[in-house]
Amino acid sequence: MKPSNLLVLTLLALAPISAQPPAGAAGGRGGGRGMFGGPAVKSPEVSADGRVTFRLRAPAAQEVFVTIGGRTAMTKDDQGVWSATTQQPMEPDYYPYNFIVDGVSISDPSNPLVKSIVTGGFQSFVHVPGPSGLSWELNDVPHGKVTHHFYKSGIIGDNRDFYVYTPPNYDPAGKTQYPVLYLIHGFTDDASGWTTAGRANIILDNLIAQGKAKPMIMVNPLGYGTPNPDTNLSAVMANPERQFQDVSRALLQEVLPIVEREYRVAKDRNSRAISGLSMGGAETFYIGLNHIDQFAYVAGMSSAFVMYPKPAGSAPAPGGGRGQQQHLDAAVYANVFPKLDAKAASQLKLLYVACGTDDGLIGVNRDFKDFLKSKDIAFTNIETPGAHTWMVWRRNLTEIAPKLFR
């Protein structure tokens, strides 16, 4: 089932592409077998000038598109290989895309670089390499370790997972106690989103090696307050109040105690941060600002406040159509944060509100900032170019991490 229209969020407009390979581009047909038979093709292929060619062998297909910066038709050659190439060079980064083959969306079968979708399947990413100074580039520095954990949630009622990043030189038998960043994914992602698409562990490796961020543990929990979201995603917003209450309880009463039992972490609020993107950003503020006694650092990115429960009598949100900003009545925020005031917020060492200026959620994020101002609550206001994309969130995390645990 498709999520509510309120949750259909625009993607960043990337370089336009043409359905032609670049002059002199290699066909990329080497060993192995393609998904639809025949020799495998090379896809994606990044040229020296930053243009990207996408290929798919599908000789029986009638129509194929690539979804990057919109939906662009691909052309088929006499070998049954469909291709399209960006017209302009792409800036160094990791960009999401998929193919649509006769109406069916699939990931690129020639590309192992993917992000899981909680309901099944994958989204492909193309890496346009950049200089080593970019925080998400893999560099010759000490690397931390990512461990996958599973547990039975008595609160939500299913078996679920979370990931834990430990920094380089972490010694489980040592005496050093580390601060913890709880970093939450967005809607349709699973708990692995921040380490696959977000490159969060690589970003922390680089920032720690450069001395810009303190060595820390990062925890990536599953951000759904409904059981079995892989088969029941539509239920997430059926009862938004319970969604936020239960995901908060699961983090505080189940995940956090497991982490503090199994890892060498400091257990005071000054050693805990919470952050997240989109749905995870809304959860970040819901959890962090209602539990200031537990977290000293609260940082939301492109937060999907449209997911918050609406109190009876609140004014309807204006706008919200495709390409329009969405807005929320102040009563929504007052309902979610009934005890938040300037005195309580003064205990925070960081309150960070970030959103891209081309994001469909910029309106509700500005509404939230107006709510904070009405309470005389100080915060860090970040608005950058960009839409609702990982290209924005990787940069947000790169700025947030050095501000933590100082």
> In terms of DSSP H, where are the helices of 190-304?
193-196, 200-209, 229-232, 240-250, 256-262, 279-290
Taking the C-alpha atoms of residue 250 and residue 271, their distance in angstroms, rounded to an integer, is 20
- Going from the N-terminus, what domains does the chain have, and what CATH number goes with each? 5-128 (2.60.40.10), 145-403 (3.40.50.1820)
Rounded-to-integer distance, Cα 184 and Cα 256, Å: 13
Give the per-residue SS3 of 163-219. EEEECCCCCCCCCCCECEEEEECCCCCCCCHHHHCCCHHHHHHHHHHCCCCCCCEEE
CA nearest 11: which of 67, 53, 50?
67
- Which pLDDT does position 316 carry in this prediction? 53
- What does DSSP assign to residue 336? H
> How crowded is residue 342: how many other Cβ atoms within 10 Å of its Cβ?
11
Residues β-bridged to residue 86: 17
**How many CB atoms are located within 10 Å of the residue 113 CB?**
16
pLDDT (0 to 100) of residue 30: 38
Phi, psi (degrees; rounded to nearest 5) at 326: -100, 150
Binned average pLDDT, 10 residues per bin, the chain of 406 residues:
34 44 39 58 96 97 94 95 95 97 97 96 97 98 98 97 98 96 98 98 98 98 96 90 96 98 97 98 98 98 96 61 70 96 98 97 97 98 96 98 97
For the segment 85-129, what is each residue's pLDDT rounded down to a tens digit? 998 999 999 999 999 999 999 999 999 999 999 999 999 999 999
* End-to-end C-alpha distance for the chain, whole angstroms: 44
Q: In 3D, which of 174, 175, 167, 169 has the Cα closest to residue 208?
A: 167
- What's the pLDDT at 8? 31
Note the pLDDT of residue 323: 44
Amino acid in the structure at residue 128: V
CB atoms within 10 A of CB 338: 8
pLDDT at 314: 67
Q: What is the pLDDT of residue 70?
A: 87
Q: What is the DSSP string of 351-395?
A: EEEEEETTSTTHHHHHHHHHHHHHTT---EEEEES--SSHHHHHH
CB atoms closer than 10 angstroms to residue 116: 18
Q: What are phi and psi of 180, to 5 degrees?
A: -130, 130
| Nearest by Cα to 310 from 373, 244, 366 | 244
Antiparallel, parallel or unpaired: β 81-86 and 104-106: unpaired
pLDDT at 69: 82
pLDDT tens digits, 260-301: 999 999 999 999 999 999 999 999 999 999 999 999 999 999
The residue with tokens 């503090």 is 260
pTM to 2 decimal places: 0.90
The dihedral built from the CA positions of residue 157, 161, 167 and 172, taken in this order, carries a sign that is positive
pLDDT at 204: 98
| Cα distances (angstroms) measured from residue 295 to each of 156, 190, 344, 350 | 22, 23, 12, 10
